[in-house]
């Protein structure tokens, strides 16, 4: 926890320009070579396509942003590649902090990566959803809750691996709605959605970006979205407007190694902000099902405490 407090304080100083180099107008010798952004997931997935969209729009004074896929260990292999890199700003990683926080709280991760790495920016937000097959009997979340209360642990909700933010959120949602269920983890989000389409499980918890194509094709129905307001991608109510007080999603973000010079971090923040404002980049993000929501690493650091508090509360519910 002490490390976390120190790193959050440093992030605030970076953004405020309290270090001599930051915001002083001094030139920095960066970048002089390509910047490597690690995607700790397989090529072709949502995070990979998001980062590549930004890479096509980013201006790094003649240098390129190379996207490298290093998958494994539920994103930890690629995350540690950045964690252990030289603190020079040339190594980045794209992960939602919710993933690291949940892994740390579940005991799968020994290091508080979200406190020890340096946040650069949030590119987009990606709310959680609960969805069912389009041919299911449940038309609303109230319908599903009524079934779950009657079925008890026979009600099955599929999602990704145990110990992650999706599992914690699912238990939090069930707690708010007052039902029991059995959580069924899969090695990959696509497998969990396939299991629901095949009738193996009753519902799936995932993110908007992961369900958009299946809703567009008419294969799945979203019963609730955990955003503050309805998303534009499909006609589905939020949990809050249905009377269930829960809000949660992933902050799809960019991080760099701890200890990177504040002037370099400031340069990266400005470069990513300009890229995310590019019309073509925003169009690609929307097509992927992401809600463009750029914010700086300073803002993300401020949000981290509330994210951790929610996940810690829900982690206590996981049996």
Domain CATH for 103: 3.40.190.150
Domain co-membership, 268 together with 122: yes
Query: What pLDDT does 187 receive?
Result: 84
Query: What pLDDT does 2 receive?
Result: 40
Query: What pLDDT does 47 receive?
Result: 93
Cβ-based neighbours of 7, under 8 Å, separated by 6 or more: 115, 116, 118, 258, 301
Query: What pLDDT does 18 receive?
Result: 39
Asked if the structure places residue 219 within a domain, the reply is yes
Cβ-based neighbours of 152, under 8 Å, separated by 6 or more: 180, 181
Query: What pLDDT does 177 receive?
Result: 98
Q: Residue ranges of the chain with pLDDT lower than 70?
A: 1-26
Q: Which of 221, 242, 263 corresponds to the end of one domain?
A: 242
Which two structure tokens, joined as six digits, stand for 84?
């252990």
In this predicted model, what pLDDT tens digit does every residue of 51-87 receive, in sequence order? 999 999 999 999 999 999 999 888 999 999 999 999 9
Domain co-membership, 230 together with 264: no
Q: Say how many C-beta atoms besides its own lie within 10 A of residue 145's C-beta.
A: 22
Domain co-membership, 181 together with 225: yes
Domain co-membership, 119 together with 180: no
Which two structure tokens, joined as six digits, stand for 235?
């006609």
Report the predicted TM-score, pTM, of the whole model to 2 decimal places.
0.87
For the chain, the domain total comes to 2
Range of the domain at 230: 127-242
Domain co-membership, 148 together with 221: yes
Q: Which of 225, 242, 259 corresponds to the end of one domain?
A: 242
Query: What pLDDT does 27 receive?
Result: 76
Residue 178 CA: distances (Å) to CA of 132, 149, 150, 159, 220: 19, 7, 11, 19, 24
Query: What pLDDT does 26 receive?
Result: 53
Which two structure tokens, joined as six digits, stand for 291?
């809600």
Q: Which of 216, 242, 268 corresponds to the end of one domain?
A: 242
* Alpha carbon distance 65, 92 (integer Å): 10
Domain co-membership, 262 together with 309: yes
């Amino acid at each position: 926890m002490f490390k976390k407090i120190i790193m959050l304080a440093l992030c605030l100083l970076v953004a405020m320009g309290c270090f001599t180099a930051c915001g002083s107008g001094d030139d920095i010798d960066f970048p002089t070579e390509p910047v490597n952004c690690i995607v700790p997931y397989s090529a072709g997935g949502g995070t990979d396509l998001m980062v590549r969209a930004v890479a096509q729009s980013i201006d790094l004074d003649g240098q390129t942003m190379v996207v490298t896929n290093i998958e494994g260990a539920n994103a930890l292999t690629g995350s540690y590649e950045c964690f252990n890199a030289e603190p020079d700003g040339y190594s980045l990683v794209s992960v939602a902090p919710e993933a690291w926080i949940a892994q740390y709280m579940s005991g799968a991760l020994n290091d508080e990566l979200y406190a020890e790495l340096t946040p650069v920016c949030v590119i987009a937000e990606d709310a959680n959803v609960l969805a069912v097959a389009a041919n299911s009997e449940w038309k609303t979340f109230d319908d599903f809750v009524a079934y779950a209360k009657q079925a008890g642990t026979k009600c099955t909700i599929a999602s990704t691996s145990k110990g992650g933010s999706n599992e914690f959120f699912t238990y939090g949602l069930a707690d708010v709605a007052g039902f029991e269920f059995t959580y069924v983890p899969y090695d990959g989000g696509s497998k969990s959605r396939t299991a629901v389409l095949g009738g193996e499980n009753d519902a799936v918890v995932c993110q908007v970006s992961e369900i958009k194509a299946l809703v567009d094709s008419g294969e799945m129905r979203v019963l609730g979205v955990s955003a503050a307001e309805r998303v534009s991608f499909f006609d589905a109510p939020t949990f809050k407007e249905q009377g269930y007080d829960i809000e949660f999603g992933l902050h799809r973000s960019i991080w760099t190694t701890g200890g990177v010079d504040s002037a370099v971090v400031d340069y990266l923040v400005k470069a990513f902000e300009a890229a995310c404002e590019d019309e073509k980049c925003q169009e690609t993000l929307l097509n992927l099902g992401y809600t463009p929501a750029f914010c700086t690493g300073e803002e993300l650091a401020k949000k981290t405490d509330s994210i951790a508090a929610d996940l810690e509360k829900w982690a206590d519910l996981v049996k």
